[in-house]
Amino acid sequence: MYLRPTDLDAALNALKGGRLAVLAGGTDFYPAQVGRPLPDDILDITALSALRGVREEASGFRIGALTTWSELLATPLPAWFNGLTLAAREVGGRQVQNAATLAGNLCNASPAADGVPALLALDAAVELAAHDGVRRLPLASFVTGSRRTARRTEELVTAIVIPHWGERARSTFIKLGARRYLVISIVMVAGTLEADASGAVSRAALAVGACTEVAQRLPALEAKLLGAPLDPALAGLVEARHLATLRPISDVRGSAEYRRDAALTLVRRALRQLAHE
C-alpha cells in the first residue's frame, strides 16, 4: 500500500495501528533501504501542505515538518537563526537540501545529524500528532539514542517549535568534517547567546554533536557563561571539564581523543565568533 494523503487527519487515521513507514524527502529513508526490500506500506507525507513552511507565532517560530533545508534558507528570519541556517548550508548539497526536511533529520536521529545540535542550541521542541491528540517534547527528550526517538509509530512529527530569543541574541554553528562539502560531521558545535542591556550574557545554549549518541547541551558551561561580558574573553572560560559528558567514539573519521580535543577547540571558537558578531 502506498498512501499520499493531502489531509492531515486522513494521514493520522491511516497511521492508526502504526504499520506504515513514514516518507518525507526520502534522503535518509531510501539510502537505508539499499539491499533490502522496500517496506510494503508507505505513508508519503509530502502532499500534506499544512505541514509546509515557517511561521511566526506568539510564542516563537513554527517550522512545519515538511519544511526543507532550502525553504528554511529562503525564509527571512531573525539574526539568532544564523546557527540553524549555517547548519542548513552544510546538509549535503543543493539537491539534498531541496528535498530533505528538518523534521526528517530529527526523526532519523543520526548521531551526526547537523540539525540536532543546531536546534538544541535554540531550545527547540518537537510537536507530534496522532489521531487521538497532539503533544510537544523538548528536542532533548525526543531524540533518545542513535536512530531512536520518542515518536510512537502512530505519530507524525508535525512541526519543530522554537521559542523567541531576544533582539540581542546571536547564534552560530561550526561543522568539522574531513572536507568542506558533502561530508559527515566529525564534530559539530552550535551555540546561541543572548546579552542583557549591560552586555552581560543573560541566556546561553551550547550543544556538541557527533561526540555522543545524541548531541549534548553543555549545562555546566552555560551556567558559567551567565553574567560574564559577551566579549572574546568568554572563550577563556571554557575548561575541559565542561565537556566531560561527551563520549566520543573512534572511527574512520577520527579518534575519540581527536574528537574530544576538536570539540574543545570548536566550542572556544564558537564563543569567539559569537562575541565578534
Ligand X SMILES: Cc1cc2nc3c(=O)[nH]c(=O)nc-3n(C[C@H](O)[C@H](O)[C@H](O)COP(=O)(O)OP(=O)(O)OC[C@H]3O[C@@H](n4cnc5c(N)ncnc54)[C@H](O)[C@@H]3O)c2cc1C
Judged on CB neighbours under 10 Å (0-12, 13-18, 19+), 265 is middle
Q: Is 108 helix (H, G, I), strand (E, B) or coil?
A: helix
Residue number, 22 or 122, with CB nearest to ligand X:
22
* Closest distance of CB 276 from ligand X, Å: 26
CB of 112 to ligand X, least distance (A): 6
Q: How far is the CB of 92 from ligand X (least distance, A)?
A: 3
Report the relative pairing of strands 42-44 and 2-3 from DSSP bridges: parallel
Comparison of 114 and 123: residue with beta carbon closer to ligand X: 114
CA distance 174 to 273: 10
Q: In whole angstroms, how close is the CB of 227 to ligand X at the nearest point?
A: 34
Q: Which residues make up the interface to ligand X (CB under 6 A)?
A: 21-29, 31, 45, 65, 90-92, 96, 99-101, 103-105, 107-108, 113-115, 151, 156-157, 182
Question: In this complex, which beta carbon is closest to ligand X, that of residue 128 or of residue 228?
Answer: 128
Least distance CB 196 / ligand X (angstroms): 33
Residues 189 and 207: beta-carbon distance below 8 Å: yes
Tell me which residue has its CB nearest to ligand X.
104
Grid cell listed for 174: 561550526
If phi over 0 gives left and psi between -120 and 50 gives alpha, with beta otherwise, what is residue 199?
left
Nearer to ligand X, 131 or 168 (CB): 131
List Cα–Cα distances, 204 to 14, 74, 163, 249, in angstroms. Answer: 41, 27, 14, 27
In this complex, which beta carbon is closest to ligand X, that of residue 100 or of residue 186? Answer: 100
* Residue whose CB is less far from ligand X, 21 or 86: 21
Asked if residue 112 lies in contact with residue 185, where contact means CB atoms within 8 angstroms, the answer is: yes
Please state the closest distance from residue 113 (CB atom) to ligand X, in A: 4
